[in-house]
Amino acid sequence: AQRVTQPEKLLSVFKGAPVELKCNYSYSGSPELFWYVQYSRQRLQLLLRHISRESIKGFTADLNKGETSFHLKKPFAQEEDSAMYYCALSGNYGQNFVFGPGTRLSVLP
Protein backbone atom coordinates (compact mmCIF):
# COMPACT_ATOMS: atom_id res chain seq x y z
CA ALA A 1 0.00 0.00 0.00
CA GLN A 2 1.15 3.53 -0.65
CA ARG A 3 2.53 5.37 2.32
CA VAL A 4 4.45 8.56 3.10
CA THR A 5 6.50 8.99 6.25
CA GLN A 6 8.01 12.14 7.69
CA PRO A 7 10.04 11.15 10.73
CA GLU A 8 10.27 14.59 12.34
CA LYS A 9 7.17 16.20 13.79
CA LEU A 10 9.08 19.36 14.66
CA LEU A 11 12.32 20.75 13.31
CA SER A 12 13.88 23.88 14.74
CA VAL A 13 16.81 25.66 13.10
CA PHE A 14 18.38 29.07 13.40
CA LYS A 15 18.04 31.67 10.66
CA GLY A 16 20.74 31.19 8.05
CA ALA A 17 21.30 27.53 8.89
CA PRO A 18 20.68 24.75 6.35
CA VAL A 19 17.47 22.81 6.66
CA GLU A 20 16.46 19.35 5.48
CA LEU A 21 12.97 17.95 5.90
CA LYS A 22 12.91 14.21 5.42
CA CYS A 23 10.34 12.27 3.44
CA ASN A 24 10.27 8.58 2.60
CA TYR A 25 7.61 6.78 0.63
CA SER A 26 6.40 3.37 -0.43
CA TYR A 27 4.47 2.90 -3.65
CA SER A 28 4.07 0.04 -6.10
CA GLY A 29 4.85 1.86 -9.31
CA SER A 30 6.27 5.22 -10.26
CA PRO A 31 4.67 7.87 -8.10
CA GLU A 32 4.67 11.59 -8.48
CA LEU A 33 6.04 13.35 -5.40
CA PHE A 34 5.10 16.74 -4.02
CA TRP A 35 5.84 19.07 -1.13
CA TYR A 36 2.93 21.14 0.17
CA VAL A 37 3.28 23.95 2.71
CA GLN A 38 0.82 25.58 5.08
CA TYR A 39 1.78 28.93 6.56
CA SER A 40 0.02 30.18 9.67
CA ARG A 41 -3.63 31.05 8.97
CA GLN A 42 -3.30 30.19 5.28
CA ARG A 43 -4.57 27.32 3.20
CA LEU A 44 -2.47 24.41 2.08
CA GLN A 45 -0.52 25.18 -1.09
CA LEU A 46 1.89 23.43 -3.41
CA LEU A 47 5.56 24.22 -2.83
CA LEU A 48 7.16 22.03 -5.47
CA ARG A 49 6.82 18.76 -7.42
CA HIS A 50 9.56 16.39 -8.44
CA ILE A 51 8.70 16.35 -12.15
CA SER A 52 9.31 20.06 -12.56
CA ARG A 53 12.78 19.93 -10.96
CA GLU A 54 12.48 23.54 -9.92
CA SER A 55 13.61 25.58 -6.94
CA ILE A 56 10.86 27.48 -5.15
CA LYS A 57 11.68 30.03 -2.44
CA GLY A 58 15.16 28.51 -2.34
CA PHE A 59 13.85 25.01 -1.63
CA THR A 60 14.80 21.98 -3.71
CA ALA A 61 13.90 18.32 -3.48
CA ASP A 62 15.47 15.38 -5.27
CA LEU A 63 13.69 12.13 -5.85
CA ASN A 64 15.91 9.19 -4.88
CA LYS A 65 14.20 6.07 -6.17
CA GLY A 66 16.82 3.77 -4.67
CA GLU A 67 16.22 5.10 -1.17
CA THR A 68 12.55 5.94 -1.89
CA SER A 69 13.11 9.41 -0.51
CA PHE A 70 12.16 12.94 -1.47
CA HIS A 71 13.86 15.16 1.09
CA LEU A 72 13.28 18.92 1.02
CA LYS A 73 16.34 21.12 1.40
CA LYS A 74 17.24 24.76 1.69
CA PRO A 75 20.79 26.01 2.25
CA PHE A 76 19.90 29.08 4.32
CA ALA A 77 16.65 29.09 6.27
CA GLN A 78 14.65 32.30 6.70
CA GLU A 79 12.18 33.14 9.46
CA GLU A 80 9.37 33.31 6.90
CA ASP A 81 9.97 29.63 6.10
CA SER A 82 8.38 28.71 9.43
CA ALA A 83 5.35 26.62 8.49
CA MET A 84 3.93 23.11 8.33
CA TYR A 85 5.39 21.04 5.50
CA TYR A 86 3.70 17.97 4.03
CA CYS A 87 5.21 15.47 1.65
CA ALA A 88 2.70 13.77 -0.66
CA LEU A 89 2.53 11.30 -3.50
CA SER A 90 0.10 10.31 -6.19
CA GLY A 91 -0.22 7.96 -9.13
CA ASN A 92 0.27 9.23 -12.66
CA TYR A 93 -3.34 10.34 -13.09
CA GLY A 94 -3.93 12.00 -9.74
CA GLN A 95 -5.20 8.88 -8.09
CA ASN A 96 -4.06 7.35 -4.81
CA PHE A 97 -3.12 10.73 -3.35
CA VAL A 98 -1.44 10.28 0.04
CA PHE A 99 -0.06 12.91 2.42
CA GLY A 100 2.54 12.39 5.10
CA PRO A 101 1.87 13.46 8.69
CA GLY A 102 3.77 16.71 8.27
CA THR A 103 6.79 18.41 9.81
CA ARG A 104 6.54 21.74 11.56
CA LEU A 105 9.56 23.87 10.69
CA SER A 106 10.43 26.61 13.13
CA VAL A 107 13.15 29.04 12.07
CA LEU A 108 14.51 30.90 15.06
CA PRO A 109 15.98 34.42 14.84
Partner 1 sequence: DTGVSQDPRHKITKRGQNVTFRCDPISEHNRLYWYRQTLGQGPEFLTYFQNEAQLEKSRLLSDRFSAERPKGSFSTLEIQRTEQGDSAMYLCASSLLDTQYFGPGTRLTVL
Which residues of this chain interact with partner 1, rule CB under 8 A?
4, 9, 32, 34, 43-46, 49, 51, 86, 88, 90, 94-102
CB atoms within 10 A of CB 44: 13
Kindly state the smallest distance separating residue 33's Cβ from partner 1, in Å.
Answer: 10
Measured distance CA(67)–CA(108) in Å, rounded? 31
Measured distance CA(79)–CA(28) in Å, rounded? 37
Q: Pick the closer one to partner 1 by CB: 69 or 99.
A: 99
Kindly state the smallest distance separating residue 100's Cβ from partner 1, in Å.
Answer: 5
Q: Pick the closer one to partner 1 by CB: 15 or 32.
A: 32
Closest-CA residue to 27 (of 1, 64, 49, 6): 1
Counting every residue, how long is the chain? Answer: 109
Kindly state the smallest distance separating residue 18's Cβ from partner 1, in Å.
Answer: 24
